[in-house]
Structure 1
Amino acid sequence: MLICVAQGVYTVVAIAAVGICVPPLGMGLATLIGRKNFSAEERETGKAALVMGCVGVTEGAIPFAAADPLRVIPSIMVGSVCGAVTAALVGAQCYAGWGGLIVLPVVEGKLVISPQWLSEQW
């Protein structure tokens, strides 16, 4: 990602930044939303995963993927792809060589999906 920043290719950085933070954020949110489906230990791991996702550390999803790889790995792959494609479609640009919510202040094109944007695409 740092090479892309050095070359001024900020769209690729934004796409990667989204792909980095989605797995831990998704698993962390799942432990909050579906509390009944997770043990107390997994809920605590989910809290740590949320923090890791906010600062761009993908490894927060590893404990969940190791515990149930057949369900977790495909779901985080699909979530990351959906997020990355959305970032690409809206033309997001990240000027920091890092991922996670912590870089939102230096991202252009964030959270811009609106009816107007959708109508402009068609």
Structure 2
Amino acid sequence: MSQWKPVCRVEDIPVLGARRIARHDGCAVAVFRNDQDKVFALLDRCPHKGGPLSQGIVFGESVACPLHNWTIGLNDGCAQAPDEGCTQKFSIRIDDGQVCLDLNELNSLALDGNKATA
């Protein structure tokens, strides 16, 4: 059974932007909001050179990495061709405007020793 951790409200995420959710272990999670108020969560690291996706430009259901302009799908975390690679996707749930992430995923996925920075 999943446990859900509230991390922010939908309106706390800028439209066409992101909010970083720091974790004790591992890289931060970026929570994105597009212009249709859809919300997505990915590891805040581009699969190319580790760029901070939370600083990228959101368009449609994609984000452009700020380092080398790779386009990453917000639904699956994968780069668009001809680029290759994926970043970790996190499950998300919206409860009455509250954005929640799966606590089990936060505590187990993409914990590679890269500490999150605030």
Q: TM-score, normalised by structure 1?
A: 0.26
Larger Rg computed on CA atoms: 1
* Larger helix share, 1 or 2: 1
Higher strand share: 2
